[in-house]
Amino acid sequence: MKDNEHNFSELAPLVIPRDEHGISRKDISENALKVLYRLNKNGFDAYLVGGGVRDLLLDTEPKDFDIATNATPEEVRKLFRNCRLIGRRFRLAHILFGREIIEVATFRGHHMSDAGKNTASQSSDGMLLRDNVYGSIEEDAQRRDFTVNALYYNIADFSVRDYAGGIADLNDRVIRLIGDPETRYREDPVRMLRAVRFAAKLDMSISEETEAPIPHLAHLLKDIPSARLFEESLKLLQSGQGLDTYLLLRELDLFEPLFPILDEHFTEDMSSKTEQMLEIVLRSTDRRIGSGQRINPAFLFAAMLWYPVTIRTEEISFESGLSYYDAFMVASNDIIDEQVKTLAIPRRFTAMIRDIWLLQLRLSRRTGNRAFKLLEQPKFRAAYDFLEMRGEIEGGQIAELATWWRDFQSAGNDNKKTMLQDLNKATGNKKKPRRRRNPSRRRKPQANKET
């Protein structure tokens, strides 16, 4: 039996008193504290739990403040008018404070426990379909996914409770699954993605026993709803450590179930245009997140799928005889339709992906007033940024085109006109004067001939 497979109910938790840990209430959301205090005041156990405790102990700012309690969702709703209950697989209470949501979960129990109506349901592969089984804090800790997420901050005495060796793993910088890894992954295959995300986000390593089953269980992700995988993909690639996350996903065979279209474009030395683009766009995304700039998932997906689109375009054009533009339109629809089967990318994003792609065809057409009209396009800036990335990979005319657009954007109006005049001269696109008809040469109408 592995160290983390013990019977939690037989072991006393490691209790770290207030003066021996670094968590301060001033670093906890005021709204989370309100919920904790009200639950405690009404006789319920109330703990800050999971990533919030983990991040506070690592001296980083938590993204969310989640709460665990022995109050049922219905009891929580009675205490908070601003509460709504959500979830089918496991019932949760969301307490709304403007734009901030404090999530409150009832302690989870063992799947097979006899809890009356609150029973778990599993598929034939072991995946949890319904999980409304409530239990004790010890059972709840055992049901958590990773040891570093099974840490509880007790609002009653401000101590931290560790039921799974999470403090030791935090100190050793190790991501370790609680329980038998294969069983836990079969219950919820997304845990494999979470292991990678936490390892990359926290700059930790995945323990040997936690990592070992992942490659041969990666196919289980294909059974996960595409909407859920889309949300997970954003967490993975837009975490600020997207490049490291991608490399670890590739290493553990977890990237292909998310982006099966890209698999045939991968090489052993990671030198294909698709792989170069992935590295460039993910590094850029990480940099923007690190500097607090806004990012749009559509740009990321447009870059990731670009070279599959161009290759598919060439194939369609060759096989069908369609013009490049028409073949490009067909290929764009094909690639997006295939990708949304795996990741349910919303239409607002697929529309922007198409806009960015189409502008790649239009950016080379700059004569006349076209350049000025392109500057007015809502997606011009995104299309230009993407063109620059293509220039890094392809060089040649694409790199020259990106440089021209960079200079054109920053030029004054007079200089813009000069640039266009120079472009017209270089390409031989001089505006030809309209020929005026000579009135004297017009044909006189002939009289109708009698038949």
* Residue numbers annotated as active site: 64, 66, 145
| Nearest alpha-carbon partner for 301 in 263, 357, 365 | 357
Q: Is 219 in a helix, a strand, or coil?
A: helix
Taking Cα atoms as reference points, which of 113, 150, 149 lies closest to residue 131? Answer: 113
Cα–Cα distances (Å) from 311 to 210, 226, 321, 342, 388, in that order, read 38, 25, 15, 21, 20
Instruction: Judge residue 278's burial from the number of C-beta atoms within 10 Å of its C-beta, 0-12 exposed, 13-18 middle, 19 or more buried.
Output: buried
b/e burial code for range 2-11 (CB count within 10 A of at least 16 → b): eebeeebeee
Count of Cβ atoms closer than 10 Å to residue 444 Cβ: 5
d(CA 51, CA 32): 14
Residue 71, CA atoms < 13 Å, CB-side half-sphere: 26
DSSP bridge pairs for 130: 121
The answer to whether 185 and 220 are in contact (CB under 8 A) is yes
Question: Would you say how long the chain is, in residues?
Answer: 451
Question: How far is Cα 220 from Cα 192, in angstroms, rounded to an integer?
Answer: 10
Q: Which of 79, 87, 93, 91 is nearest to 34 (CA)?
A: 79
Burial 177-207 (b: 16+ CB within 10 A, else e): bbbebbebbbbbbbbbbbbbbbbbbbebebb
CA–CA separation, 315 and 321 (whole Å): 10
**The residue type at 131:** D
